[in-house]
Amino acid sequence: MAANALSDRTTRQRETPSWLAYRAVYSVVLVLLAWEIASRTALINPFFMPAPSLLVVQAVKLTLQGELLPHMGATLLRALGAILLAIAIGVSLGIAMARIAAVRWFFDPLISLGLPTPKIALWPIFVLWFGFHDQSKIYLTTFACAFPLVSATYLATRDVDRYLLWSARALGTGERRMLWKVIFRAAVPDILTGIQTIIPFAFILIVLTEMLSGGIGLGSMIMLAGRLADIPTVLVGVIGASILGFAVIRLGEYLRARVLVWHEETTDHA
Amino acid sequence: MARLGVEAFRYAPLVLLVIAWELAVRYGVISPNFLPEFSAVAGTLWALTLSLELPENLGISMYRQAAGFSLAVVIGVALGIGMARVRAVELAFRPLVTLWYPVPVVALFPVLVLILKLGDQLQITVILLGSILPVILSAYNAARGVDHYLAWSALSMGTSPERLLWKIVLPAALPGILSGIRVTLALSFVLLVASEQLGALGGIGAFTLSAGENGFYTGMFAGILTIGLVGFVADRLYLALIRRLLSWRDEE
């Protein structure tokens, strides 16, 4: 579910000729065109699948009325907040689990029990504890995203090349310096992959909790429009959420390349 | 016996946590309005089981999950392998998959309600549409990754294309496909619960949400524990199944 959709991103960058990328754009345009024609000729029900051009018109209208951007902003801020919180908690807990036996003993069964269970089921509890506003949405999303991140960080830190550690120790590296200069650096690529994996989950969960609670946010806008059978607005909201998620996924890929400037993964095809 | 001891030590934190929960509420560290005692939740869980309220809702939910998940696996594997092996299928579906990839499917819930109305078909469709992508992608990548020499050798020895699919491509791609299906399994439970919370006729997600809205907190916690347990058990059963299916491989 990470950012590597149909092929591994690093190999794609290296191998895909640019004409293939253009072809991908063409085929997407083709799909949109087919949708437009099918909807206009009522081949598909235009009430449920309004033509893309109508959606663009609706998006512009909502933006001019000031009814789209505030929702998108609220969703974006909540998702970013939840992602940052999940990184802070997940990465530190994952490293602690890999380094400290007592922490590992306590959290290992909790993580392995919690990882495959649907955290969205806890929504009523989070509402009871934190109310209907920002907190419950952000905390539930943080909680759900922390599990895969703890697991990714733990595995990445645990599996750091032992020869690397031995060499550093032989060269007189202290334990604290070792954690920061050797272990963390060696684990960073896999930790970043873990972070990139939770980005789409975070957006889905924020939109979902907004749908369950009302107020401001794309999810609430979608739910309200749905009750009024205003399908163009629903679809504009869904596309808006997709664009936000896509933009943050791209941001993550960009930051990864910046953070890993020193890593072979980046320098290889520079 | 030694193994039992190791397992007990391993899962001791869970027991400690439950004891801490019980004591914290009993001695007033946490208000029971925020967190009912564990013993009270367990009592409600038992009562709801005997009254069949929980088993009935769970049955409804499991039917939806099983249907949506199986459809996603069957259609997803067929599409993924088709895209990897047949050029026309790839040309037709690749743009759709690219467009579909970033769409949060649960957000389409209001449209799907209008089209499908409330009922099992609604939840099944949400699960199918929302969880099929990991199967397609892993089947596609795994089938593309199948060693060309393997396929060529088989073909040169006179294997028919149909036999090639069943005897070479599918087994070789199986490990990759199975790991994609594990993601889909977890996703299908998320989508099940989410779509039942958004609107459903019965089901464990709807039951839990309405228990919370009506202040029936022990029932709400009992429902949530049930969902968590079912998700966990499904994942463990699936892992056991994978181990059996892949026992013919020499690695691991």
Question: What secondary structure, in 3-state letters, does chain A show?
Answer: CCCCCCCCHHHHHHHCCHHHHHHHHHHHHHHHHHHHHHHHCCCCCCCCCCCHHHHHHHHHHHHHCCCCHHHHHHHHHHHHHHHHHHHHHHHHHHHHHHHCHHHHHHHHHHHHHHCCCCHHHHHHHHHHHHCCCHHHHHHHHHHHHHHHHHHHHHHHHHCCCHHHHHHHHHCCCCHHHHHHHHHHHHHHHHHHHHHHHHHHHHHHHHHHHHHHHCCCCHHHHHHHHHHCCCHHHHHHHHHHHHHHHHHHHHHHHHHHHHHCCCCHHHHCCC
- Domain enclosing residue A206, as ranges: 57-267
Number of structural domains in chain A: 1
- Contact criterion met (CB < 8 Å) for A120 and B193: yes
Q: Which residues have CB under 8 Å from B232's CB, separation 6+?
A: A113, A116, A117
**Which residues of chain B lie closer than 8 angstroms to A209, CB-CB?**
none
**Which residues of chain A lie closer than 8 angstroms to B190, CB-CB?**
118-120
- Contact criterion met (CB < 8 Å) for B208 and A121: yes
Q: For residue A120, which of B207, B190, B131 has the smallest C-alpha distance?
A: B190
- Contact criterion met (CB < 8 Å) for A5 and B101: yes
pLDDT at position A2 is 39
Percent with pLDDT over 90 in chain B: 29
Q: Could you give phi then psi for residue A4, rounded to 5 degrees?
A: -85, 95
pLDDT at position A238 is 92
User: What is the average pLDDT across B184-197?
Assistant: 91
Separation of alpha carbons B128 and B133, rounded Å: 9
pLDDT at position A268 is 55
pLDDT at position A8 is 43
Question: Does the beta carbon of B76 lie under 8 angstroms from any beta carbon of chain A?
Answer: no
- Contact criterion met (CB < 8 Å) for A109 and B11: yes
* CATH number of residue A202's parent domain: 1.10.3720.10
For the stretch B205-236, pLDDT in tens is 999 999 988 888 899 999 999 999 999 999 88
The Cα of A238 is separated from the nearest Cα of chain B by a number of Å equal to 6
**Which residues of chain B lie closer than 8 angstroms to A1, CB-CB?**
134, 183
On whether residue A160 sits in a domain, the answer given is: yes
Identify which of A127, A200, A226 has the shortest CB distance to residue B113: A226
The residue of chain B nearest to residue A212, with distances taken between CA atoms, is: B198
**Residue B35 carries which DSSP code?**
S
On whether residue A82 sits in a domain, the answer given is: yes
User: What is the average pLDDT across B76-94?
Assistant: 85
**Residue B108 carries which DSSP code?**
G
The Cα of A241 is separated from the nearest Cα of chain B by a number of Å equal to 7
On whether residue A47 sits in a domain, the answer given is: no
Confidence band for B164, pLDDT divided at 50, 70 and 90 = confident
**Residue B146 carries which DSSP code?**
S
In 3-state terms, what secondary structure has residue B194?
Answer: helix
Separation of alpha carbons A58 and B199, rounded Å: 26
On whether residue A48 sits in a domain, the answer given is: no
Separation of alpha carbons A30 and A32, rounded Å: 5
**Which residues of chain B lie closer than 8 angstroms to A109, CB-CB?**
10-11, 13-14
pLDDT at position B146 is 75
- Contact criterion met (CB < 8 Å) for A121 and B227: yes
Interface probe, candidates B16, B94, B112, chain A, greatest A C-beta count within 10 A: B94
Q: What is the residue-averaged pLDDT of chain B? A: 86
Fold that domain B39-245 belongs to in CATH:
MetI-like fold (1.10.3720)
Token pair belonging to B112? 């799907």
Domain boundaries, chain B: 1-35, 39-245
For the stretch B24-78, pLDDT in tens is 888 888 887 788 888 888 999 999 989 988 999 999 999 999 999 999 999 999 9
Q: Which residues, given as ranges, of chain A have pLDDT below 70?
A: 1-24, 264-270
Which class for A120: exposed (0-12), middle (13-18), buried (19 or more C-beta within 10 A)? buried
On whether residue A179 sits in a domain, the answer given is: yes
pLDDT at position A71 is 93
